Amino acid sequence: MSGMKHLPIFYKVVGFLAVFYIFFKYLINFVMPPLPQSLILMYLFLAIVATTLYISLFEERMQEFWDPVLRFIRSNEGATTGVRWVVLVVVPFLAGFSTFQKLTPTATPPLEQRVIHPAPPREYAQLYNPIPHTPENILAGKGMFIAYCSPCHGPKLDGKGPAAAGFNPPPANFVDPGTIAQLQESFLFWRISTGGVGLPVEGKPWNSAMPRWETRISPDNIWRIIMYEYEGSGHKPRTWE
Ligand code: HEC
């Protein structure tokens, strides 16, 4: 430890503050959740106040602390002059660079808060499927699904149709347990009938490519397509029972 004793107090203080910061910023994360940066800076401020008190308590300690700093600033030795120039250039550059980084706007788009399954309008919530659950009706639904829906939602109902890659939000994947398996038939009837333009405010940003099918497909046929969506994906519609 005799080596430590002769280490100038300036390096001891800088070393202490560095270890202090690294401890609260990184090491502590192994045993507890990370501390907020503002709290770490507050601790660091207190540590700086404490070390300042410690140094300024005695005249000799003050002198010992500033000695290497003054020597660095005043020295005329070749090597020190070179290092001094590096510090004089690098420190202002780093300060300028970090200010630039903080003030430059980034191109990251803001997070979109889109409600994927908003509540359907009241007139749709009460509907039930009037079409009998027969193989003929399901087959008819399959034919219409392949014709109208598979380009986007995919022939395997997994949302990977040939046109899917071009759309954001992507076409729904009906096999995924997060879509139609969570929904009632009446919800699907609403979404298929009114499409992306029928989404309420919370379902924005209204850029859904889902077409509004009520203008092209009769209600009975929409019910048949819904029947096939469940049959083909292996899910059951959600009911209130
Ligand atoms: C042009 C591409 C396209 C076509 C064609 C298309 N859809 Fe969609 N569909 C989408 C997109 C994109 C979404 C996801 C965004 C949204 O919810 O509006 C979607 C969403 C849906 C949803 C909502 C799923 C959920 O989890 O909320 C249903 C149901 C649906 N489509 C059924 C159909 C049916 C049935 C057809 C055929 C009659 C069809 N779609 C044809 C693009 C399409």
Residue pLDDT, tens place only, 185-225: 999 999 999 998 888 887 776 688 999 999 999 999 999 99
Ligand 1 pocket member 190 (CB < 6 A): no
pLDDT at 112 over 80: no
- Displacement of CA 70 from its chain's centroid (Å): 48
pLDDT at site 29: 84
Cα–ligand 1 centroid distance for 135 (angstroms): 24
* Cα 105 to ligand 1 centre (Å): 35
State whether the beta carbon of 151 lies less than 6 angstroms from ligand 1. yes
Assess whether pLDDT exceeds 60 at residue 178: yes
- For ligand 1, say whether the CB of 171 is within 6 Å of any of its atoms: yes
d(Cα 146, Cα 225) in Å, to the nearest integer? Answer: 10
The dihedral built from the CA positions of residue 7, 11, 15 and 17, taken in this order, carries a sign that is: positive
Q: Determine the distance separating the centroid of ligand 1 and the alpha carbon of 211, expressed in angstroms.
A: 7
